[in-house]
Copies of this chain bind each other. A is one copy, B any other.
Amino acid sequence: MSMQGDGLLVVVSGPSGAGKGTICRSLMDSKKDIVASVSSTTRMPREGEIDGNNYFFISREEFLNMIENDGFIEYAEVYGNFYGTPRKFVEENIKSGKDVLLEIDIQGALQVKEKYKEGVFVFILPPSMEELKSRIIKRGTEDQKEILRRFESAYKEINYVSRYNYFIINDRVDAATDKLRSIITAEKCRVDRFKMKLIGQ
């Protein structure tokens, strides 16, 4: 009774400051049978960022060309820079049976959900709005106005949790990571998912 098949597309999303990046890195460190999708961007690399690791740094022309050829499963322009998730990497891995982890913002996740409804959509929540505020402040890279803007945006974004399959409250990174790992394990045991495979959807 082999039940091999496509890998899972695991989309981890949530408001800025909820800690989705930390949880995803922690999952990648402990779970070796999942690959992380790397986004493409037209922005300049920051100090220490490595091409192909943090992002694929490509030109605006290359990016527009990829959009034209349906090369992204989602993309967005933020402050004049493009960010997108290359389709090829995601689809090739899933087809070969590997799970793919995609850490993206909420708008990106909702774009992905339009096309990949069989994906597993996980929303990371901060333990409290107070904690969220203090995390945004601690990042230290933003001025007061930027902090307020981010906080307000995060506050609004939390409502999007209803569009996701799972939520994880990120009160402790190890517990949150264990929940994410459990969600992936459990999804592979879902009868509905196996039924979909049988009827070839």
Q: Which residues of A contact B (CB under 8 A)?
A: 1, 3, 122-123, 125, 127-128, 161-162, 164-169, 178-179, 181-183, 185-187, 189-192, 194-195
Inter-chain contacts of A191 with B (CB < 8 A): 123, 161-162, 164-167
- Could you give 21 example pairs across A and B, Cβ below 8 Å? A1-B125, A1-B127, A3-B169, A123-B191, A162-B191, A165-B190, A165-B192, A166-B186, A166-B190, A166-B191, A167-B189, A168-B189, A179-B185, A179-B189, A181-B182, A182-B182, A182-B185, A182-B186, A182-B189, A183-B189, A186-B187
A195 touches B162 (CB 8 A): yes
Q: Can you tell how many copies of this chain the complex includes?
A: 2
Out of B1, B3, B167, B192, which one reaches A194, CB within 8 Å?
A: B167
Q: Are A1 and B189 in contact (CB under 8 A)?
A: no
